[in-house]
Every structure is written in C-alpha cells, then in structure tokens.
Amino acid sequence: MGFFLRKRVVSSAIPLVFVVLGVFCLARLTGNPVDLYLPLSATAQQRAEFSAAHGFDDSIAVQLWDYLAGAAHLDFGTSLRTGESAGSMVLQAFPVTLQLAGVTMLLAILGALVVGSLAAYRPNSLVDRIAGLLSMTAASIPDFWFAIMGVLVFGVGLDLLPTSGTLGGPEIWVLPIATLLIRPFGVLVQVVRGSMVGALSAPYVKVARSKGADAKRVVFGHALRNSATPVLTVAGDLTVGLVNGAVVVETIFGWPGIGKLMIDSILQRDFAVLQAAVLLTAVTIFALNILVDVCHALIDPRVRQAVPA
C-alpha cells in the first residue's frame, strides 16, 4: 500500500508542476496588462510606475520566483481588477463550484450504479435498451444547449424555476445541477453496464447463484465490487471534466464560482487571480487523483498488494 501510494503521488505530481508552470507562461503571452488598465493618454512615466508597482518590469524568471515564493505562503498577489487579494477571491469562489461538482458527482454515481446495474442484469431486455438509448443521448447533448432548454421550458415557459442567480431556496440548484449531471450520468451508466455485464458472467457469480444467493446479494455483494474499478477511474476523469461544465454552467446561470472567475480573469488579463485559480484547481485535481487511487486500493486488494516491478 505504501509503495503503491508513493508511486502514484510522484506520478500525479508531475502534471501538477507542468500545469503551474504552463499557466504562468501562457498568462504572460496574453498581452501586456498595462495597455488594458491604463488610459491611452497615460504618460510613459505612469506606465513605468504601474509596471513597477505590479512587478511587470522584472524579468520572467524573477516574476516566476516571486509567484512561487508567494504561493508557498498562500500569497498570490492582488487582483488588478478589484484590488482585492487574489487568494481570498479564489477561496470565495471555490466552495460554490465544489458544492456544485460534489452534489453532481454524487448523484451521477449513485444514479448510474442503479440504472447501469438494472440494465446489465438482463442484457438486451427492454430496460437495457431504454437505458442504452438514454445514456447515449445524455452523453451527447451539449451542456450549454441543455441549460438553455431548461431555462426556456422551466424558467420562461412554466415559470417554475429561477433562470439565474444564487439567491433563493433549494430550487436554484435544480437547473445548474441537472445541466452538469447529464454527461457524467450518461457516460457512467455505459461504464457501469459494460463492466457489470462482464462481472455477472464471471464464474464466481455462477457459484454464488448456485449456492442460492438472491439477486440483490449477487449484484450488490459480489458483482458490483468487482466491477467498481473502471467506474471509479472514469468517475475521476469525469470530475476533472466537470470544470469544463462549471465554466459553461456558471456563465449561463450567473454563479460566482471558480469557472466564471477563471474566464473573467482571462478576458481581463488578471494574471494573479488566474494563476491562483488554476493552481487551486490543479491541486484539487491532484488530490482527487490520489483519492481515486486510495479508493482503488481499498476496493481491490490486488491493487494494494502490487509489488515493485
């Protein structure tokens, strides 16, 4: 277990480093923020002062060092837009997205386990075909269009749900979560079904059946745990992909989350906020990958007993 985890931590940390460095460099390529934040009439001296105040006149290496050193004590500099601390802006936005993503993945995994297992229990039955068609469609609908259709039908047409904003009761969650949910749900149903069909035709399931175990015990006690590994891997990848969805959903529904913050920062060349947001996202994804690996090891003894090759 220890060896397995050490290996995974190291191999997951490499992408983390690349992402942090890559975003720093790319952000520098988006153009000079001095042009955007000072009026056209600004004198050369004003421009130089602005550059010096925000450190834009240092060499790239010095800027990178400042950034890394600051990040080490959670100081990400100040936002050019608002003058607030970038760290606190990001930390304010982050829980919103985390809540959205967490609830979505929980619902998607639970729903997919139920629907996928039902479909796999009798391959090619009516239930299986309906689930197949539904999941394929769900995985292929563009999320922004689904969100707009939700607004059109439930917000404008039936006037049941609010169309944007975060003020109000639990009904404000319905459309954003439904929008985020469709793709992970559709994909996971297909994965659960595929892997359950395999598990249910394995010899140990025959043994369990011949010993008189009922359907519930066969499915949940025997087959599900063995088919959980691919489901877990895909669920991890889909959670990373939820950031894509969060950008779209937060833009459409006006949620002050990290996706909207990142888009706004890019469009307004707010380096400090963008870097802090990306760093936090990258660290979260890193932690998520480790969490998925720990779950793998907990579910499957073969994984945790893997010996150094």
Partner 1 sequence: MTDLASRPTDAVTPSRTRPPRWWLLLGRDRGAAVAAVVLALVFLVAVFGRLFIGDRAVRQDLGASLRPPSLDQGFYGLLGTDVLGRSVLARLVDAAGTTLSVAVPAVLCSLLIGSALGMWAGYHGGVRENVAMRVADVILSFPSLLIAVVVLYVFAPSALNIVLILAVARIPVYLRTARAESAELRSRLFVDAARTFGTPSRHIIVRHILPIALPTLLTVATLDFCFVMLTESSLSFLGIGIQPPDVSWGLMVAQGRQYLQTAWWIAVLPGVAIVLTTVSATVLAAWVRLATDPAQRWRLTLPRKRRGDRAAVPPEMIA
Instruction: Catalog residues that contact partner 1 under the rule CB under 8 A.
Output: 11-12, 14-16, 18-19, 23, 26-27, 29-30, 123-124, 128, 132, 136-137, 139-145, 148-149, 151-152, 156, 187, 190-191, 193-195, 197-198, 230-231, 233-234, 237-238, 240-241, 243-244, 247-248, 251, 262-263, 266-267, 278, 281-282, 285-286, 289
2, 16, 141, 228, 230 from 7: Cα distances, Å = 9, 15, 37, 22, 20
Residue 42 or 218: the one with the smaller Cβ distance to partner 1 is: 218
Residue 198 or 256: the one with the smaller Cβ distance to partner 1 is: 198
Q: Which of 83, 13, 65, 19 is nearest to 272 (CA)?
A: 83
Residue 243 or 299: the one with the smaller Cβ distance to partner 1 is: 243
CA distance 307 to 309: 6
| Other Cβ atoms within 10 Å of 37 Cβ, number | 16
Residue 62 or 136: the one with the smaller Cβ distance to partner 1 is: 136
The least CB distance from residue 152 to partner 1, in Å, is 6
Residue 7 or 42: the one with the smaller Cβ distance to partner 1 is: 7
CA distance 130 to 135: 8
The least CB distance from residue 141 to partner 1, in Å, is 6
Residue 173 or 286: the one with the smaller Cβ distance to partner 1 is: 286
The least CB distance from residue 64 to partner 1, in Å, is 17
The least CB distance from residue 287 to partner 1, in Å, is 12
Burial of 48 (0-12, 13-18, 19+ CB in 10 A): middle
- HEC string for 133-186: HHHHHHHHCCHHHHHHHHHHHHHHHCCCCCCCCCCCCHHHHHHHHHHHHHHHHH
Angle of helix 2-29 versus helix 60-72 axis, rounded to 10: 130
The least CB distance from residue 65 to partner 1, in Å, is 22
The least CB distance from residue 45 to partner 1, in Å, is 29
